[in-house]
Amino acid sequence: MTDTNTYIQKLAVTNPLPEPVMRRAIHALNLPPGSHGLDVGCGIGLQAIMFAEAVGPAGHVTGIDLSPEFLDCARSIAEKAGISEQVSFREGDMNNPPFDDDTFDWVWSANCAGYAPGEPLSLLKKLARVVKPGGSVIILAWSSQQLLPGYPVLEAHLNATSSGIAPFVEGTAPELHFSRMMGWFRRAGMEKVTVRTFAGDVCAPLSDEIRSAFTALIEMRWVDVGAELSEEDWAEYQRLCLAESPEFILDLPDYYAFFTYSMFRERVVG
């Protein structure tokens, strides 16, 4: 529970970074007002609430997740946002969505479906099953970042650690990587795939909110990496990436960073 609560807290703290990017992605979908959608792997419900706002009071968004703690938090956030009538949350597995065929106008999954090792073809077919003909399956995930300006080699080494390449692991077939999503959709029988990448960036001076968000992001991005780095890289990591360090990189007066999310969308054939 402690670990879950800590993770929930970090999701909330980091949210000011992805929220503007997510809102742009959701706006770009141009979803029909009044439509009903499913958020797969909804976590603490942050995107589900954005979708509920996007489809309006006649629409509805259902979020599913395996974590009861996440779902309790999502319900609380929705209630505080005054939007609890437009969203609902329930336990559910993305590999076996607990809904009838043709239930939703669209399905969305961010940093969950398609962003883990495993066979994606069956997953996409299961998600498409619960979407009405002409509706959309939308998959979005974090796809790149530059958080350590001026230290590209160190950042490359950090990204090559087990934490840095998560949820992918050494030996995973290249075609199972998230960036090969177009091929997954095509093999699932969906051929008109659209792809868009959305970027977020920040630069100094950082507000307290953004500084806290980036500090938490760095902590989440590269976890327990010491054993996989050279002594030199580990020393540099401790010097630059720990908030208590006098040379913490967020203190740079010319700090700049960016990150991207990539979104794949396909319409379900009748």
For 243-259, write each residue's pLDDT tens digit.
Answer: 999 999 999 999 999 99
**Which pLDDT value is given to residue 117?**
67
**Which pLDDT value is given to residue 206?**
97
* Nearest Cα residue to 168 out of 193, 185, 143: 143
Q: Measure the CA–CA gap between 64 and 41, rounded to whole angstroms.
A: 6
**Which pLDDT value is given to residue 178?**
87
- Which residues are within 8 A (CB) of 70 and not within 5 positions of it... i.e. 6 or more apart? 4, 8, 42, 43, 44, 45
Domain 2-267: give its CATH architecture.
Answer: 3-Layer(aba) Sandwich (3.40)
115 phi/psi in degrees, rounded to 5: -115, 40
**Which pLDDT value is given to residue 192?**
82
- On average, the pLDDT of the chain sits at 93
Residues of the chain with pLDDT under 70: 1-2, 117
**What single-letter amino acid sits at 92?**
G
Q: Model-level pTM?
A: 0.93
**Which pLDDT value is given to residue 240?**
98
**Which pLDDT value is given to residue 1?**
42
